[in-house]
Amino acid sequence: MKYDVIGDIHGCFEELIDLIAQLGYRFHNGIPLHPDGRHLAFVGDAMDRGPDSLAVLRLLFKMQDENILYYSPGNHCNKLYRFFKGNRVELLHGLEITVGQWRQLDNADQKKFRDRYIRFYEELPLYHQLSHDLIVVHAGLRHDMIGKTLNRHIITFALYGEITGNYHPDGRPVRGNWARSYKGKQWIVYGHTPVKKAYFKNNTVNIDTGCVFGGALSAVRFPEVQLFSVESKQPYQEDRFHQYD
Ligand SMILES: [Mn+2]
């Protein structure tokens, strides 16, 4: 099967629609279908920070209803899930924007959306093994974790990436670069860390090109390993982009 894997959307619905069109999909009854039978996949973090997280989620719900959704949840997905389940979570890092948008729905629609989101999240696998040589995961996966029984360490790694436990002076966590020591033969497509252009390393590629920070929304096409992207419509925030050394 052939896949187009889309990076972190963070509520950038218009850019998502543009990218889906650029990839050659056409909407039929609200569902994006490709004339060559390709499939869309997602590295997660569809919501938070950007202008229309609910519209992005409603599209994903529809795709899930049609059994054509390949979506790996990210840390933002997990946090929204915990919020909807009634856990005490801080409304920060863009979650406050998603929740604000949701609170504008009337009570019946709020409940409907919340219940649908909970079902959406609970049906998602932590990562997708799309073919024998292609894995889609939000923040990363070490070679030795592939196919292993999930434990808390693997779940945290997939959602947050390699955490060093250290922090930059401005409070951002120092991120490890797991891709540098990745030795797997399978491709790993991930996002989570915004970069100015897609970052290829050892059969891995980070396609979070920071759309919500004014970069671009990107996709990578498999098995061709071809990049696609649309320019962001959001204001550019230089300091949000990570530089690998
Ligand atoms: Mn993330």
Instruction: Determine the distance separating the centroid of ligand 1 and the alpha carbon of 128, expressed in angstroms.
Output: 16
Distance of CA 29 from the midpoint of ligand 1 (Å)? 30
Q: Report the candidate in 89, 40, 207, 196 with the shortest Cα–Cα distance to residue 139.
A: 207
Q: Distance, CA 138 to ligand 1 centroid (Å)?
A: 7
CA of 126 to the centre of ligand 1 (A): 13
* Three-class SS state of 183: coil
CA 185 to CA 134: how far, in whole Å? 9
8 Å CB contact between 11 and 226: no
pLDDT, position 112:
98
Average pLDDT over residues 150-154: 97
* pLDDT value at residue 17: 98
Per-residue DSSP letter, 192: S
Ligand 1 geometric centre to CA of 66 (Å) = 26
In this predicted structure, the answer to whether residue 172 has a pLDDT above a threshold of 80 is no
pLDDT in tens, 22-44: 999 999 999 999 999 999 999 99
Tell me the per-residue pLDDT of 209-243, one tens digit each, with 9 for 90 and over. Answer: 999 999 999 999 999 999 999 999 999 999 999 99
Q: What is the mean pLDDT of residues 90-114?
A: 98
Write down the domain spans for the chain.
10-202+212-232
Instruction: Determine which helix (DSSP H) or strand (DSSP E) holds 81, and give its type and residue range.
Output: helix 75-84
Report helix, strand or coil for 200.
strand
Q: For the whole model, what pTM was predicted?
A: 0.97
Residue 101 CA to ligand 1 center (angstroms) comes to 20
- How many CB atoms within 10 Å of residue 56? 23
Q: How far is the CA of 187 from the centre of ligand 1 (A)?
A: 19
136 Cα to the center of ligand 1, angstroms: 13
Q: How many angstroms is it from 188 CA to the middle of ligand 1?
A: 16
CATH of 10-202+212-232, one of 3.60.21.10, 2.20.140.10, 3.30.390.50, 3.40.50.300: 3.60.21.10
Compute the distance from residue 191 Cα to the ligand 1 centre, in Å.
7
Distance CA 194, CA 186 (A): 23
- Name the 3-class secondary structure at 39: strand
pLDDT at 191 exceeding the cut of 80:
yes
Task: Kindly state the helix (H) or strand (E) to which residue 96 belongs, with its residue range.
Answer: helix 95-103
Q: Which of 162, 153, 213, 231 is nearest to 190 (CA)?
A: 162
- Residue pair 121/85 in contact by the 8 Å Cβ criterion: no
Q: What is the dihedral of CA 227, 133, 159, 165, to 10 degrees?
A: -100
Check whether 144 has a pLDDT greater than 80: yes
Using the mean position of ligand 1's atoms as its centre, give its distance from the Cα of residue 103 in Å: 23
pLDDT at 204: 98
Question: Which pLDDT does position 205 carry in this prediction?
Answer: 98
Centre of ligand 1 from the C-alpha of residue 175, in Å: 12
Cis peptide before 194 (omega within 30 of 0): no
Angle made by CA atoms 205, 206, 208, in degrees to the nearest 5: 150
Residue 174: predicted pLDDT? 83
Handedness of CA 65, 86, 51, 113 (dihedral sign): positive
- Is the pLDDT at 107 greater than 80, yes or no? yes
Secondary element (H or E) of residue 165: strand 163-167
DSSP state of 30: T
State mean pLDDT over 162-187.
89
Q: What is the distance in A from the centroid of ligand 1 to the CA of 186?
A: 22
pLDDT of residue 149: 97
Cα 244 from Cα 226, distance rounded (Å): 21
- Measured distance between the N- and C-terminal CA atoms of the chain, rounded to whole angstroms: 35
- Distance (angstroms) between ligand 1 centre and the Cα of 2 equals 25
DSSP class of residue 36 equals T
- Distance (Å) from CA 58 to ligand 1 centroid: 20
Q: What percent of the chain has pLDDT over 70?
A: 100
For the chain, counts of helices (H) and of strands (E): 6, 14
Q: How confident is the model at residue 2 (pLDDT cuts 50, 70, 90)?
A: very high
* pLDDT (tens digit per residue) in 55-84: 999 999 999 999 999 999 999 999 999 999
Q: 49 CA to middle of ligand 1, Å?
A: 12
Task: Report the percent of the chain where pLDDT is more than 90.
Answer: 93
> What rounded mean pLDDT belongs to the chain?
97
Instruction: Look at residue 163 in the predicted model and tell me its pLDDT.
Output: 84
Distance 35 CA to ligand 1 centre (A): 31
Compare 103 and 176 and report the one with higher pLDDT.
Answer: 103
